[in-house]
Amino acid sequence: MIILFFNIIFLICITILGIHQGFYLYEFNKILKNLKVLGENKDLKENKKNILEYNYNLAQLNYIFCVCFSTPMKKYFEKKIKFEYIE
């Protein structure tokens, strides 16, 4: 009976972790899409507002990447994504 209880608690914890990672993956993809759109903009380096928006989105992306993702996801995205801040 005790083993069954702990197995149920374990499954609930794994489910919560999966849902949590799923929400952050959704946010990550939304910000990544926004960065790609801003990066394709021709006058990105000329317009200060676009530079600020680009760098802000990149900072959000880095925060989600560093703090919220587990190690396998980090290794996958490190190979896939290369963005740099614009000054």
**Domain-embedded: residue 1:** no
Q: What is the pLDDT along the chain (87 residues), one digit of tens a residue?
A: 889 999 999 999 999 988 988 888 888 889 888 888 888 877 777 888 888 888 898 888 888 877 777 677 777 777 777 777 777
Tally of CB atoms within 10 A around 57: 20
- Max Cα–Cα distance, the chain, nearest Å: 67
CA distance 78 to 70: 12
Check residue 9 and give its pLDDT. Answer: 96
Q: How many domains does the chain have?
A: 1
What range defines the domain where residue 52 resides?
20-80
**Domain-embedded: residue 4:** no
**Domain-embedded: residue 8:** no
**Domain-embedded: residue 12:** no
Q: Pick from 32, 27, 9, 48: which is nearest to 82 by CA?
A: 32
Check residue 4 and give its pLDDT. Answer: 93
Check residue 28 and give its pLDDT. Answer: 84
**Domain-embedded: residue 14:** no
Q: Is the pTM of this model over 0.95?
A: no
**Domain-embedded: residue 86:** no
